[in-house]
A and B are shown apart, each in its own frame.
Chain A
Amino acid sequence: MRPSGNPPSTPIGDGPIDDWPSRDLIGSDRSGLPPAGEKGDVDAVLAVLQEVPDPEVPVVSVVELGIVRDIDWVDGRLAVNVTPTYSGCPATEVIEQHIHEALVAAGYSDPLIQRRLSPAWTTDWLTDAGREKLRAYGIAPPVGSASKRSLTGQSDPVVPCPLCGSNATERVSEFGSTACKALYRCRDCLEPFDYFKCL
């Protein structure tokens, strides 16, 4: 749910110049924004980010994906820390831009979106709601906890088919349609499916 704040009514054109189109939408009349130098409501920010989908797996939000690592205020300016899923994830910039746009549209003026590498993202940060949404979308969520053993294949888990629920599945390829997924096949319903692999 988006918070009940008013969308920006009058675009301000004299803000900092930037490539992002959302810079033109800076509004300052949202109720509940902290005065300069004070901290605001983290839950309200989370509610905004909960509406920002992952561009490659649009059924889960950036919050459910576990890539929003920290929300804070620096001298009254909202600062959101985001971590990439993979070093080369091509969606990193787009995600940061979408987060920025959503926050500006919700009335946060000039939010700071920071990229943080450490600690490295792990699929353990996927929320339960996010996992369920993945399954409903046809992507098998990560099985078990991320560990060196799961990465090196020493403990290949049984991945239930997200379509029919069968455990009779097999890995076709270590990589699926994106770096974060592997390609599997169900031996019962014979459908191929993506598995969101443990990392």
Chain B
Amino acid sequence: MQNVAKQNTTQKNMAHQNIAQKTQTPLIDYLLRLGDSALVLGQRHAQLCGKAPALEEEMALMNVGLDLFGQARNWLGYAAELMAAELMTGKIDADHLAFRRDAQDFRNLLIVEQPNGDFADIMGRQFLFDAWHVHLLDGLAQSSDPRIAEVAAKSLKEATYHLRRSSEWVIRLGDGTEESHTRMQRALDNLWQFTGELVQFDEIDQAMLEAGIAPAPETLVTRWKATVEEVLEEATLERPSYDAWMYTGGKVGHHTEHLGFLLAEMQYLPRTYPDATVW
């Protein structure tokens, strides 16, 4: 069946055939990691709609979430096309992947599924993610896969602006009042245990590196650390140890209990009315 599927790849997918033949499943997995992290963090933002501490922050949080949803659609749309070609079905699209998979099928980082908490938790999570995201996208913009390169180049502009905002908030809260400093430090200490995944690389990352699709892990780690250290120092915050014990598993579908609740809320409507065309 697999050979038949390969012969039946559409012309659109021909450009990706070389990569697909070499790393068919890893590439799909890798795209799910990118798309799911953007999607789940976007959904965390959507949950704040109507609940932000100030109107300006409400708009900012929603706009960052919207950017992330757009990026998720681009990544998952590509993953869906590759899946559809492999499975010889046209019924998979980005919405299908977002709304009809269960928690164990999601490949997002654990940090993005952590609950919203207070504003320090929200901005701390965003900052630690953004500091990683911009450097990853910067590398992916040079990807050997043209589709990945163009989505990354587009997303990079948005992520750079997100990092600017989250850095400013971490600095303002960390170097602010005694209360804001205490809360920002507490948020950082709590979120830190989920950062191990950002700099941990497995066989899928290795396959992407070898295919020239993804950047070298060493560069990403070095640059992420540099950004984190620079901002935390200005924020007068104490950086927890890189060698601290870390939770991992999101990238292979082992999630914290929070993801299931998030998906239950996000997927409720499309699962109750599957294939509805008017909401």
Contact = CB atoms under 8 A, between A and B. Distances in A.
Interface of A: 84, 86-90, 117-121, 148, 151-153, 172-179, 183, 197, 199
Given A87-B154, A173-B60, A199-B157, A179 B164 contact: no
B165 interface: yes
A interface majority secondary structure:
loop
Interface in B14-67: 42, 56-57, 59-60, 63-64, 66-67
Nearest to A178: B63
Nearest to A19: B277
Interface residues on B, range: 20 to 34
A121 B164 CA distance: 20
Interface stretch (B68-76, B216-224, B260-268): B68-76
The 8 A-B pairs with the shortest beta carbon distances in the complex, nearest first, are A88-B70, A87-B70, A118-B150, A173-B56, A88-B66, A175-B60, A175-B63, A120-B154
A173 B57 contact: yes
Contact of A117 (B42, B59, B154): B154
Interface in B143-157: 146, 149-151, 153-155, 157
B interface majority secondary structure:
helix
B63 A179 contact: yes
Given A118-B146, A172-B56, 19 more contacts: A84-B70, A87-B70, A87-B71, A87-B73, A87-B151, A88-B67, A88-B69, A118-B153, A120-B153, A148-B160, A151-B157, A151-B164, A152-B160, A153-B164, A175-B63, A175-B64, A176-B59, A178-B63, A197-B161
Interface string B67-97: 1111101100000000000000000000000
B66 A86 contact: yes
B105 interface: no
A148 B163 CA distance: 12
A174 B161 contact: yes
A120 to B, nearest CB: 4
A176 B55 CA distance: 10
